[in-house]
Structure 1
Amino acid sequence: MTRKSATAIGFVAVLLWALLALFTVGASEVPPLQLNAVCFGIGGTIGVVWTTATGRWSELKGITLSVYAFGTVGLFGYHFLYFSALRAAPPAEAGLIAYLWPLLIVLFSGLLPGERLRPLHLLGAALSFGGAALIVAKGASFSGEHGPGYALALACALTWSGYSVISRRLGSISSMVVTVYCLATAVLSTLAHLVLEDTTWPSTGTGWASMIALGFGPVGAAFYVWDIGVKRGNIQLLGTASYAAPLLSTLVLMIAGIATPSATLVVSAILITIGAGLAAYQSRQTG
């Protein structure tokens, strides 16, 4: 697999995450951790079927417990911290801080062997972050009383960026390992749900369809293609391009009639596009 094709596969995750908001709205009756448990259960099942159909179970032999623990902490830790941040701080502010993870991926990638962080990578990531901030943090007003929530959101960003960058160091390990990550995350999410939430199932067909779609796409298959991308693709370009997710998500909500067009969306699109273009140009220049 070439670096270019791996990057393209990784970007599929960004496209799938663009559907996250739409399906989450559809499954809004279901508590977050319960939804997490169901979706990662579906995601893990996808991996079991995929691994069985391709006869690749042998690729999971010899993988240490520490690798499985790392992946589980990455997936479960990110989502648990994100949901906790949204409970402890206003969603706009918490969402903006949590969405530092693509920028952090670009920054942390400079620490990886064989990777070189160039000025245009940084400028592109900063511009794209600005574009995403226009959407994610609309109406945000930071307050000291929500400090703990902001700290959780920052921990969330550090968790996902750290997971993504360290996964690069595990490039020799098959992406089939995500199957175990998902199943373990489903178990931990179930336990957390039973302790912290009341069980509530969708009351409509749309709710059930949305929950299942989340498990097959944004909170399922996305993690397999993301693993391929960060392990074998252009990680700086993937980090910057990830800022397209909130933009695409808003466009999807507009098409569904849930959100309305605005000048902010146009400016955001321009900034994100320029930022991704700069990162792509820098990557081509450095080969």
Structure 2
Amino acid sequence: MTTSQTASPALSARARATFIGTVAILLWASLALLTTWTPSLPALQLTAMTFTLSTLAAMALWSLRGDGVIRHFRLPAKVWALGVSGLFGYHALYFLALKLAPPLEASLINYLWPLLIVVLSALLPGERMRWFHLAGAGLGLLGTVILILGKGEVGFDPRYLAGYAAAFACAFTWSSYSVLSRRFAATPTDAVGAFCAATALLSWLGHAAFETTVWPAAWQEWAAVAALGLGPVGLAFFCWDHGMKRGDIRALGTMAYAAPLMSTLLLILFGQGEASWQVAAACALIVGGALLGTGDLRKKPA
């Protein structure tokens, strides 16, 4: 059997897993739009409701498969620590950053996480950093900066240092969770359902402590909550876990910069944003960066 014959199935499996990971990016693009359709709901309550829905969906799937629900919660302590810190830790830090710093600056710092994934992935066994990975991620970051700057003036004020620190911790938390998932590749992706359950519980506790409960007043808000819980706050995390464990981490990190771009385009499409030269420039940079950063996926096996 030739080298190409043995390499092709492995490359194909890796490419399929990378494609599944991109589904998460596509779903996350709808997060901002769907969130704008739930204007009356407090942040932690919305998080709790959506993660509760994603947990119930996972449990229903397990039951239909005849797996049993309880066994999916029997996970090692270090797996629990990684999953809960990734899902709940990221969202808690993100909300904290938005509370302590202006949203534009907080968003800009938060979107360092795709670049951090590309950089941190070099620490994994068997992974090799190439110049086009960093260059692609850098173009994506530049496009995101232009996209966010186009929404208003960004001025880093020392008064908001705590918020900036929370935003960076947010980016580092998600990138670390994503990369470290590869070290737990033997853990089934179904474990994400257990992480969603823990995140829902902690979010309900946080909501009870810091917020006043406000239930959706119209069916449209309920529909948006359901869409969030099944899509960007549900299926997306399962797809991302699979992609991180079995796909090309650096390619996914580079392509992740498409999320803020597609999110902006969706907002424009639904009349909640305006087209501009910044959007066009960001589009060119992010798409160009994605093509550059995924160059090794398009190469034929030797």
**Smaller-chain TM-score bracket:** over 0.9
Q: Give CA-to-partner distance per residue, 1:118-143, whole Å, 9 cap, x none.
A: 11100100000111122234321111
CA distance in 2 between partners of 1:156 and 1:120 (Å): 26
Which residue does 1:125 correspond to in 2?
137
Counterpart residue number, 1:7: 18
Q: Which letter maps to 1:182?
A: C
Equivalence for 2:259: 245
Structure 1 partner of 2:5: none
The 5-angstrom pairing of residues 139-178 of structure 1 reads 139-178=153-192
**CA–CA distance in structure 1, aligned partners of residues 299 and 128 of structure 2:** 12
After the TM superposition, which residues 15-94 of structure 1 pair with which residues of structure 2 at under 5 Å, given as runs?
Answer: 15-57=26-68, 60=72, 63-94=75-106
Within a 5 Å distance, the mapping from 1:212-251 to structure 2 comes to 212-251=226-265
For these two proteins, the number of residue pairs brought into alignment is: 287
- What is the Cα deviation at residue 285 of structure 1? 5.1
In structure 2, the CA distance between the partners of 1:197 and 1:168, relative to structure 1 (3 Å rule), is same
Q: Is the 8 A contact 1:5 1:233 kept in 2?
A: yes
Contact 2:86 2:174 in 1 (8 A): yes
Counterpart secondary structure, 2:92:
helix
Which of 85, 91, 112 does residue 100 from structure 1 map onto?
112
Determine what percentage of the aligned residue pairs are the same residue: 47
In structure 1, what residue type is equivalent to 2:45? Q
- CA-to-aligned-CA distance 1:242-263 (integer Å, 9 cap, x gap): 0000110111111111111111
Aligned residue number for residue 9 of structure 2: none
Residues 60 and 174 of structure 1 are in contact (CA less than 8 Å); yes or no, is this contact kept in structure 2? no
Cα distance in 1 for residues equivalent to 2:133 and 2:298: 11
CA contact (8 A) 1:97 1:157 kept: yes
| Alpha-carbon separation, structure 2, partners of 1:244 and 1:61 | 33
Q: Check the 8 A contact 2:137/2:290 in 1, yes or no.
A: yes
1:210 aligns to what?
224
1:259-270 to structure 2, matched below 5 A, reads 259-270=273-284
Q: Does 1:278 align with 2:292?
A: yes
- Which secondary structure state, in structure 1, belongs to the residue aligned with residue 209 of structure 2? helix
274-283 or 246-255, which moves further after superposition?
274-283
**How many angstroms apart in 1 are the aligned matches of 2:39 and 2:128?**
42
Q: Is the 8 A contact 1:82 1:153 kept in 2?
A: yes
8 Å CA contact retained: 1:167, 1:227: yes
What CA distance in whole angstroms lies between the structure 1 residues aligned with 2:271 and 2:73? 48
Distance 2:239 2:148 in 1: 24
Bigger CA drift: 253-262 or 203-212? Answer: 203-212
Q: Which runs of 5 or more residues in structure 2 are unaligned?
A: 1-11
Equivalent residue letter for 1:30? L
TM-score when scaled to structure 2?
Answer: 0.91
Deviations 1:44-89 (A, max 9, x none): 1121122222334597486312212220111000000000100000
Supply the AA of the counterpart residue of 2:53: I
* RMSD, aligned α-carbons: 1.6
Contact 2:54/2:235 (<8 A) preserved: yes
Q: Which SS does the other structure have where 1:29 is aligned?
A: coil
- Structure 2 equivalent of residue 135 of structure 1: 147
Distance (whole Å) between structure 2 residues aligned to residue 132 and residue 51 of structure 1 = 38
* Greater displacement, 60-69 / 2-11: 60-69
* Structure-2 separation of matches of 1:286 and 1:190: 49
Q: Is the 8 A contact 2:15 2:297 kept in 1?
A: no
Q: Map 1:104-115; keep pairs closer than 5 Å.
A: 104-115=116-127
Q: Is the 8 A contact 2:22 2:252 kept in 1?
A: yes
Q: Return 5+ residue gaps in structure 1 as ranges.
A: none
Match of 1:183 in 2: 197
Answer with 196-205 or 176-185: which moved more.
196-205
Give the greater-gyration-radius structure (CA): 2
| Partner amino acid, structure 2, of 1:34 | Q
Contact 1:118–1:282 at 8 Å: present in 2 too?
Answer: no
8 Å CA contact 1:12–1:225 kept in 2: the answer is yes
